[in-house]
Structures are given as C-alpha cells and as structure tokens.
Amino acid sequence: MTEASSLRPRARDTGVAIAVAMGVMNVSTYGFQMIAARALGPREYGAFAALMNVTMIVGVLALGLQATAARRISSHPEGVGEIERAILRVTYRSAAMVGALLLVLSPVIALVLRLDSIVSAAVIGLAAVPLTIMGGQAGVLQGERRWLALAMVYVAAGVPRLVVGAAIVLWQPSELSAMVAVAVTALAPVLAGSIALRGTRLPRSSSPAPPGPSLLGEVARNSQALLAFFALGNVDVMVARNVLDGHDAGLYAAGLIMTKAVLFLPQFVVVVSFPAMSSVHERRRTLLRGLATVAGIGVAATVAAFLLPGLAMIFVGGSEYAEIESRLWLFAVLGTLLAMLQLLVYAVVAGQGRRSVYLPWAGVALVVGIGVLCRTPDTLLAVVVAVDALLLAVLVTVSLYLARSPVPAEDPTVMSEGV
C-alpha cells in the first residue's frame, strides 16, 4: 500500500467532528475569558487581555505551520512520510527559537504593556513553545485527513483551559496566575497530538522531501499573511493600554470579548472553504458564499446584542463592566468585520498570493496612527470599526477583481497574482 492510498480511508472520516470540536474549543476559551474577567476585575483583566493578545499574535507561527503542513501533505500525498518528518523538525526548532526570543524580549513586553511584573511577560515565552508545536501537529493531522485525531487536539486545546485554567484563576486571581493557567493547559493538545502521531509511522517514500529552504519560505509567507490579520485584530487593545487609563482599557478589553465571540462563531466557514479557495476556478463563488454566510452570522449576533444587551453583559463580565453595555452591539459589528477579513486572508494563503497581504498592514498602521489620538473607549472603537470597514471594502473589491476570470491552474503567474 502506498502512502497516498493510506490516506484515502481517513479522507472518508466525517468532518463534522472538526466543526463540533472547534465549537467546544471556542466555547471553552470564551468561558475561560469570561471567568477571568469576573475574577480579575477591569484593571487586572486589561493587563491579562493585553498579554493574551501578544500570545495570539505570536501564535500566527503555529497557524503558518499548520497551513503549510496541510497544504503540502494534501498536494503531495505520495511523499507524506517525508513531509511529516520535515514539518515536525521545523516545528520543534521554531518552537524553541520563538520561546527563547520571547523570554529575551520579556522586559520590552512588560514595558510596552505597562505591566507590574516582568514575570507575567516571561510566561508568554513558556506558553509559546507548546502552542507552536500544536500548530505543526495539527497541520500534519489535517493534511492526512485524520479528522477524529485532529478533533481531539482541538478539544484538548479548549476543555483543560476552561476547567484547569479557571480553577487556577479562581484560586489565585491575578494577571500572572491567568497566564500561568494558559501556559500549563497548552501542554494538553501537544500531548493529544503526540499520541495521535506516535500511533502512525509512515514509511519513507522514494519521493524526495521538499527542500528545507522552500518549506521554511512557505511557512514564513503563510505566517506573514496570518500575522497581518492577527495584528489588525489585536493591536487595538495594545493601543488602549497606552492611551486610556487602566479602568477604561479594561472596559475596552471586556467589550472585545464580544468581538472575539462573534469572530469565533463562523470559523467553520474558513475550514470548509479553504480547499475550494485553493482552486482558481472555485475561488470567486466560494468567497461570495463564504462572505455571505459569515455576514449573516455576524448580523444575527449584532441584532441579538442590540436587542438583549443585558443578557450579553452576562457573557462579557457582569455588572463591573456595565458602562459598555449600550455599545456591545458595536463590538459585535467589529467582530463581524474581522470574521469577514479572516476569510479573505485565508483566501490569500490558499492561493499563495503575495500582494494583498500588505493591505491589512496598512490597516494596522491606520489603527495605531489614529488610535493614539483617542482618549475614550468610544472613540477608539469608532476608529477601529471605520478602518476595518474600509479595509474590508478594498479587499473584497480587489479579491473579486482578481477572481473575475479563472486562470488555468498550470499558469505560473497564479501563485503571484492570487488574492
């Protein structure tokens, strides 16, 4: 039996498990944030939210590894054994390097985020190691169509954080204990991925593995594209930490819990759309359907937040954050815009485009450049919503223009002309 044929039975596994597992992971992560917001209070939670956003931005390396592994294995199933080994080697080295770099930069992180303790910033480096390893493992499982094993990794990424992490925060409510909870529970999905990968040892293939520089180059390109999106989605809380007082920054961070909830809801659309967006003949139709689906989910969430703000406050953090209750629907609008932008950025990754990725960076520059002039949470929120809406309009226009007439798959310009 060849390596390619060994993947076919796994391809018949249902992908429903992934949707359910991602739902469990996102709900668990959201639950942990909600518990942390209540336990820490506005000032401590503002610091923790800023730390978590740094962690999420650093996590784009894991997502770049996952996207690269999944695309490579799916495209070259005949060499899956060699690709898996190459991806895991790069993963372990990358995890060690990013962890060490963050430890060195912890004084800078503490200074920029105005933290009371450098130790909280140092924990980011410890958490980054397992989070990066999880990305490479998940990409291998995704590329090999091992949906049930991948689902278990996602579940392990969420449930322990909610159960164990929440227990740590409630026992010792502080920004440091919350970050320790994140670092400790990040080991669970790595353990699940290691068990899954240890159970299958694919033989070496006669096909040569992709060369290292090419693999690292693709990881770098994919990570850059995803970094642009995550920087756009998280830079505002860092701006808030530097232009608002501690209380207002905490209020803004709590409102972003609603934003993240709306962003997480339609993530399954990205998972379902990613393969079709890799085809120039399907990209336009898939983008339109995906954007419509994401927008529909976002509108429903926004209407619910507008009509039932009191109910939404329960999930944001409770009465301590009542000052933002009337603006929760605007945070839901922001989440909708970010979810649609996320789909467009993954279209860039699927098509290996190299041009449109600079537009999100322009959005980041606008948020920082205008955001530093803001002095209230309302004005900062208005700036972020306006910038994201403008960026979405530009990216949709560019995306549909480039996809207006399919280019033959064998055309070598496809890789550089894509969205």
The tokens for 174 are: 């502080």
Grade residue 389 by pLDDT with cuts at 50, 70 and 90. very high
**Alpha-carbon distance 36 to 30, whole Å?**
10
- Torsion angle, alpha carbons of 149, 154, 160, 163, to 10: -120
Question: How many percent of the chain have pLDDT more than 70?
Answer: 84
Q: Is the pLDDT of residue 318 over 90?
A: no
- The 10 Å Cβ neighbour count of residue 199 is 9
pLDDT at 167 (0 to 100): 93
**Which of the residue ranges 65-74, 300-309, 374-383, 399-408 would you say has the lowest mean pLDDT?**
399-408
CA atoms within 13 A on the CB side of 366: 19
Q: Is the pLDDT of residue 4 over 60?
A: no
pLDDT at 56 (0 to 100): 82
pLDDT at 153 (0 to 100): 94
Cβ atoms of residues 276 and 283 within 8 Å: yes
Q: Is the pLDDT of residue 408 over 50?
A: no
pLDDT at 116 (0 to 100): 76
Cβ atoms of residues 7 and 140 within 8 Å: no
Q: Is the pLDDT of residue 214 over 90?
A: no
Q: Kindly write down the DSSP assignment for every residue of 64-114, as one continuous string.
A: HHHHHHHHHHHH-GGGHHHHHHHHHHHHHHHHHHHHHHHHHHHHHHHHHTT
Highest mean pLDDT among 191-195, 236-240, 250-254, 408-412: 191-195
pLDDT at 390 (0 to 100): 94
The tokens for 332 are: 């839901």
pLDDT at 163 (0 to 100): 92
**Alpha-carbon distance 82 to 70, whole Å?**
14
Those residues with Cβ within 8 angstroms of residue 349's Cβ, 6 or more apart along the chain or in another chain: 67, 222, 225, 226
Q: Is the pLDDT of residue 246 over 50?
A: yes
Q: Is the pLDDT of residue 319 over 80?
A: no
pLDDT at 194 (0 to 100): 92
Residue 145, helix vs strand vs coil: coil
**Which of the residue ranges 2-11, 101-110, 406-415 would you say has the lowest mean pLDDT?**
406-415
Cβ atoms of residues 140 and 73 within 8 Å: yes
Grade residue 202 by pLDDT with cuts at 50, 70 and 90. low
Grade residue 339 by pLDDT with cuts at 50, 70 and 90. very high
Amino acid sitting at position 198: R
* 412, burial (CB in 10 Å: exposed 0-12, middle 13-18, buried 19+): exposed
Question: How many percent of the chain have pLDDT more than 90?
Answer: 30
Q: What is the pLDDT of residues 176-189, one digit of tens each?
A: 899 999 999 999 99
| C-alpha distances out from residue 173 to 49, 79, 117, Å | 14, 49, 15
pLDDT at 365 (0 to 100): 93
**Which of the residue ranges 138-142, 238-242, 353-357, 368-372 would you say has the lowest mean pLDDT?**
353-357
The tokens for 108 are: 């800078």
Q: What is the pTM of this model?
A: 0.74
* Matching residue, tokens 């590329």: 143
Q: Is the pLDDT of residue 275 over 70?
A: no
